[in-house]
Amino acid sequence: MSAGFEKADTASGIDGTPAEADLQTALFDVVCDSLSAAFIIYDKNDHLIFAGRQILEFFPLPAEMLKPGTRLRDFLGAVYDTGVRQQYDVRQGGSLSREDWLSQRIASHWRERFESVERHGADSWVRFVKRRLPGGYGVTIVSDISEDKKREEQWRSDLERVQLTEDILDNLPFPLFVKDRNLTYVAVNLAFCEKYQTTADEVLGRKSGDLFSPEIAKRFEESDRHVLETGEMSISRQRQISRDGIERDIVSRKHRIGKPGRYFLVSTTQDLPRDGADLEEFQRASAMTTSANQSYRRAYVPVQSAVERRDPAAMEAIVPENFSGRKILVVTADLAAETAALRTLSRYGFESCTVRGEDEEEQFLEIATSSGISLDLLIIDNQMGMRCLELAEQYGIPALVMDGFQIANELTFQIARHFNRNSRNNGAGAEVDWEISISDDRVSLQVLVAEDNDINQIVFSQILEGLGYRHMIAATGDEVVRLWAEHRPQVVLMDISLPGFNGFEAARLIRQMEETGAAARTPIIGVLTQAFERDRAECAKSGMDDVIMKPVSPDMLETIFQKYLVEEGARIRTRA
């Protein structure tokens, strides 16, 4: 490589650049593109040998400053004159004069190894890696680490929130614990540990049966499951005798928190007021249970109707008789979801059964296969392990992954969409022994997602279904153009790297079709994996309205939809 540098040096005063130098420059450009970074290479006299065009993405420099032979001091002076360094200097405690700034930078370029990170703007971070080779040649690599820094700051913020939550819980004067959907302790505070003379390590990961007598553990589990399955608050008034022999009345409250399919149980215990008056919650309770020996009294407060619930996305009804004989296996440990699913499937004529874990699923599929029974579909709770999905693939059975809420409330819609999709894939001439009737309240397609990665398709589907938006997914650029023409969605989320037409080409075709047909403009949002300015510029050039970065989140998509969805009432809601 040093020989190549020498050739470039000796050729700097010659008008025509040798072919070897052209090849060298092209190779360096390819390396810069592949590493998503900019290279600056200079000789022992601090004259530029190569400066990648990518450097212009970091600094708004005149193009002539990148020419071989430019003095490093002149190049850095041009960088100073752009004003980009000012925010970094202010953060360091003051602004340097031009000469002092240049002297510092030249000195760093002559160090054998030097690395630094600078913040350019509100949300942009740039890393500089500098190396001085033994022969005197210097190399600087400039890379954008904005996304890494944002993730790092988010990680720190999350850690701070977790620590703050733990501090708040530990400073509460009354015992508190949290259980997951399997009734396993996942969090306890200091007051809980002090009350039961234990430590968090001895409690976490265990169940009530490991800590209390069978009778008490059974009573706890009954109320825990009732709260998790119904969402009703449990209030239990108890008489306890403490270790010092003093009797006192206490009240325990249990609440359900979290999202459907990911519920947690939070329980608190407090001393009852001395006045002996009954609790307001008992007056609102729909039912009460009193123990035979009067040691406790429990009531459940129904969920108030004013509490906003997530409405099912289903706006389509399956004609029941057309599914008679179809066989479906449901894999879930959620009792409420299981009961609701079996009731729904039975109503529509399916032959259905449930299992509660991967071992039961494997045994069922093995017996069914050996008996010649063919299953049409597997419904898998997303709280189950990946082994459940792998078994479905192993036995060649289509599978739908849903959360507990979807299994209990959106099964009709999900199954209809599944068979509808399969019918299209089988071709227009395939026989279809089912139909879907659409209600008058049907809302047009809201979101069309262009995404070819299977995992990302699942992520988009789960987020959009959770937010309640009607959507379709296209795996190729050709398909996204076709689906746009057929359904005219209200917004398109466009991955730029697609088979067939890429995202840029698909966006251009859609814009051309809009102009030709005088159609309303559909907002197209580019979905990028990295924050390259050239990709952002190409998105805008191809007619896209905005860009977002992967990985996507519900908050990110909701913000985009609030900005671009054309109908304010476009969110699907099931009318009573």
Reported as a single tens digit per residue, the pLDDT across 483-515 is 888 888 999 999 998 888 889 989 998 988 888
pLDDT of residue 371: 84
Q: Where are the alpha helices (DSSP H) in 83-213?
A: 85-91, 98-109, 146-170, 190-195, 200-203, 208-211
pLDDT in tens, 256-288: 888 766 788 999 888 766 555 556 666 667 667
- pLDDT value of residue 424: 47
∠ CA(185), CA(157), CA(169), 5° rounding? Answer: 35
Q: What is the pLDDT of residues 294-320, one digit of tens each?
A: 667 777 777 654 444 444 443 334 444
pLDDT surpasses 60 at 48: yes
User: Of 76-85, 284-293, 401-410, 524-533, which gets the smallest average pLDDT?
Assistant: 284-293
Which residue would you say has higher pLDDT here, 167 or 271?
167
- Cβ-proximal residues to 20 (8 Å cutoff; 6+ apart), any chain: 4, 7
Q: Which residues pair with 531 in a beta bridge?
A: none
Three-state DSSP at 289 gives strand
Q: Give yes or no for residue 444 having a pLDDT over 80.
A: no
Q: How confident is the model at residue 232 (pLDDT cuts 50, 70, 90)?
A: confident
pLDDT at 495: 93
Q: Please tell me the predicted confidence (pLDDT) of residue 569.
A: 42
CB-CB contact of 358 with 334 (8 Å)? no
CA separation for the pair 485, 487 (Å, rounded): 6
Q: Is 50 exceeded by the pLDDT of residue 430?
A: no
* Position 242 confidence tier, pLDDT thresholds 50, 70, 90: low
What are the pLDDT digits (tens) for 356-412? Answer: 888 899 999 998 888 888 898 999 988 887 888 889 888 999 888 887 777 877 777
Closest Cα partner for 199 from 164, 170, 240? 170
Decide the pairing of beta strands 262-271 and 247-259. antiparallel
466 CB contacts (<8 Å, ≥6 apart)?
259, 310, 403, 554
* pLDDT at residue 27 is higher than 70: yes
Q: Tell me which of 569 and 99 has the higher pLDDT.
A: 99
For residue 292, the model assigns a pLDDT of 66
Q: For 414-433, what is the mean pLDDT?
A: 54
At 347 the pLDDT is 73
Residue among 309, 318, 313 at smallest CA distance from 443: 313
> What CA–CA distance (Å, rounded) separates 269 from 237?
10
Is pLDDT above 80 for 573?
Answer: no
* CA–CA separation, 486 and 504 (whole Å): 20
Q: So what's the pLDDT on residue 95?
A: 66
Asked if pLDDT for residue 536 goes beyond 80, the answer is: yes
Which two three-digit tokens encode residue 153? 């700051």
Determine the pLDDT at residue 507.
Answer: 92
Domains and CATH numbers, the chain: 22-144 (3.30.450), 172-274 (3.30.450.20), 327-422 (3.40.50.2300), 447-566 (3.40.50.2300)
Q: What is the pLDDT of residue 279?
A: 64
- Mean per-residue pLDDT for 15-38? 68
Q: Decide the pairing of beta strands 287-290 and 296-301.
A: antiparallel
> Residue 63, exposed/middle/buried by CB under 10 A (0-12, 13-18, 19+)?
exposed
- Find the mean pLDDT for residues 421-432: 47
Asked whether residue 8 carries a pLDDT value surpassing 70, the answer given is no
